[in-house]
Structure 1
Amino acid sequence: MSTPATRLRLGTVDGADVEIAPTHLVVAGYTGRDQEAVRHHIDELAAIGVPEPETIPAFYPLDVDRLTTADHIEVDGTETSGEVEPVLIRADGTYYLTIGSDHTDRKMETVDIRLSKAACPKPLASTVIELGDPPDLVDWDAIVVRSWVDGTLYQEGTLASMLPITHVLSEWDQLSGSSAVALVLFGGTRPLIDGSFRYGRDWRMQLVVPGHDPIELTYSVSARSN
C-alpha cells in the first residue's frame, strides 16, 4: 500500500542523516524458527478466537502513514499493546536495521488481524544501523531485544529463535513479486515474558546489536475520547 507523502527523517548510529520515502509497510508474523512451536502458538491463539494466518510467515501490508517516529500515539479503545520488533528498511539500494513497535488493537485481533494492526500507529525508532547492499546480518543470533511497559520488563531475549529478517524479506519478495519497492518490514517478535498482554501507557524498547550502541524507542499511548 502506498502513501507517497510519508517521509521518515532518521539518523544512523554514526551520525549521518537519512531521509526515506517508503512506499510499502509490511508487518510479518509467525516468524519463529521452530515451526512446531509456531504451530502450537497458532493453535493457542485460535483457542481464544484469533484467526489462523493464510501463510507462515504471515504478512500484513499496511498504509505507510501508520509509521511514526513521534513519542506519543493515540488509539481507539483501551485494549491495545505494543511488541518490540526488528525492522528492516530498504530504500534507494541500501538496507537499514532498527526497531519498531507493532502496536495492535487486541480486541479487534480476535476478529481480523490485519485490521487490528492497521488500527494503531506503528512507532519506529529514529536511529538506524546502515547494513549496505546486500544487508549483512552475520550476528543476527546475538542481537538482543527488550521491551518494557510502564517500567516493567515485558519481553527480553536474543533473536536466535526467530527467522533472520533477510529470510523473511525474501519470502515477502517472492510472495509479492517485487523486490524494488521502498519497504519498511517489521520482522516479528519474541514471546511475552509472562504470556499475557498488558495495556499500559508508557512503552520502552531496545535493540542491542554487537558492536553498536543500543537503539532505543520510547513512546506513550492515550485513548481518544469518544
Structure 2
Amino acid sequence: MSTTATRLRLATVDGAEVEIAPSHLVVAGYTGRDQEAVRHHIDELAAIGVPEPESIPAFYPLDVDRLTTAGEVEVSGSATSGEVEPVLIRANGTYYLTVGSDHTDREMETVGIQLSKAACPKPIASTVIELGDPPALVDWDAITVRSWVDGKLYQEGTLASMLPITQVLAEWDQIGGSADVALVLFGGTRPLIDGTFRYGRDWRMELQVPGRPTLELTYTVSVPDSARSN
C-alpha cells in the first residue's frame, strides 16, 4: 500500500461537505451471485490467457493514490476501459455509498489482473450517500447502474445479480481487512451489454438508489502520444 496521504473532498447528496483520507483501496471481482456462471466466466478468461483468481470473490488491494475525482485521467495505453461499480467508503466513523469506474488496462490483464487494475486511475464520483454506522438498510437489488462510452450505452441493469457490497465487505474483512481502517471498496460490476470491451475517450457512470438522488460520474481518458498503439 502507498504511504502517500490521499485526501478526497466529497459532498453528500444533502449538500454536506465530507473529507476522507483513505488508507486502503480494494477492488473486488467475480462478485456475481450465480457461482456457476462466475466459474464459467473465469474459464472463458483463462482460455484467452487471463489468470484465474486466488479466491471468489477476488480482492485486489491497490495504492490509494489511484483514487481520483478528477474529470480527466491519463492512462498508459490505448486498450483501457471502464466499468461501473458501486463503491462503499468506510471512514470518519460512518459509511458512504457512491459510484466509481474500475478503469483497467485490458492488454495487461493477460499478464496479471492485479497489474492491469493498478495500471489505471480509479475514478469515483464526488457526491456520496451517507449510510451511517452500521450502514442503513438499502435494497441493494433495486439499485440500478448504467455506463456509457462515447455516448453509447455500455452497461445497464440492477445489482440483483451481484452480491450485496456489504457482504463483499464482510468477506474482505475476514480475509485481510480491518474495521479500524479507512477503506474504499469497489464492489464489482455487471456484464457488458454486447460482451465486448470498448476503448473510448468519454465515460459516464450512473447509480440510482430508489428514493435518492442519482449519483453520476463523468471523466475523459487521455493517452500520451508516446503510448498510443499503431
The TM-score range, normalised by the shorter chain, is over 0.9
Matches within 5 A, 1:12-27: 12-27=12-27
CA distance in 2, matches of 1:148, 1:168: 25
- 1:108-152 CA distances to partner (integer Å, 9 max, x unpaired)? 001100010000000010000000011124311000000000000
Which contiguous aligned blocks of 4+ residues in structure 1 show a shift greater than 3 angstroms? none
Deviation at residue 179 of structure 1 after TM alignment = 1.9
Deviation at residue 93 of structure 1 after TM alignment = 1.4
CA distance in 1, matches of 2:198, 2:137: 31
Residue 131 of structure 2 corresponds to which residue in structure 1?
A: 131
Percent pairwise identity: 83
Contact 1:31 1:56 in 2 (8 A): yes
What is the TM-score normalised by the length of structure 2? 0.97
Contact 1:10 1:17 in 2 (8 A): yes
What is the one-letter code of the residue matched to 1:96? Y
What is the one-letter code of the residue matched to 1:61? P
Deviation at residue 2 of structure 1 after TM alignment = 3.8
CA distance in 2, matches of 1:195, 1:164: 23
Residue 153 of structure 1 corresponds to which residue in structure 2?
A: 153
Residue 193 of structure 2 corresponds to which residue in structure 1?
A: 193
Matched residues, number: 226
Residue 168 of structure 1 aligns to a residue in which SS?
Answer: helix
CA distance in 1, matches of 2:149, 2:177: 38
Deviation at residue 177 of structure 1 after TM alignment = 4.7
What is the one-letter code of the residue matched to 1:176? G
Residue 37 of structure 2 aligns to a residue in which SS?
Answer: helix
CA distance in 2, matches of 1:137, 1:218: 28
CA distance in 1, matches of 2:114, 2:4: 21
What runs of 5+ residues in structure 1 fail to find an aligned partner? none
Residue 160 of structure 1 aligns to a residue in which SS?
Answer: helix
Residue 117 of structure 2 corresponds to which residue in structure 1?
A: 117
Residue 225 of structure 2 aligns to a residue in which SS?
Answer: coil
Residue 195 of structure 1 aligns to a residue in which SS?
Answer: coil
Deviation at residue 4 of structure 1 after TM alignment = 4.4
Residue 105 of structure 2 corresponds to which residue in structure 1?
A: 105
Deviation at residue 77 of structure 1 after TM alignment = 1.1
Asked if residue 87 in structure 1 is aligned to residue 82 in structure 2, the reply is: no
CA distance in 2, matches of 1:33, 1:136: 22
Task: Calculate the aligned-residue CA RMSD, in Å.
Answer: 0.8
Contact 1:96 1:128 in 2 (8 A): yes
What runs of 5+ residues in structure 2 fail to find an aligned partner? none
Deviation at residue 222 of structure 1 after TM alignment = 1.0
- 1:20-47 CA distances to partner (integer Å, 9 max, x unpaired)? 0000000000000010010011011111
Deviation at residue 92 of structure 1 after TM alignment = 1.9
CA distance in 1, matches of 2:92, 2:201: 36
What is the one-letter code of the residue matched to 1:207? L
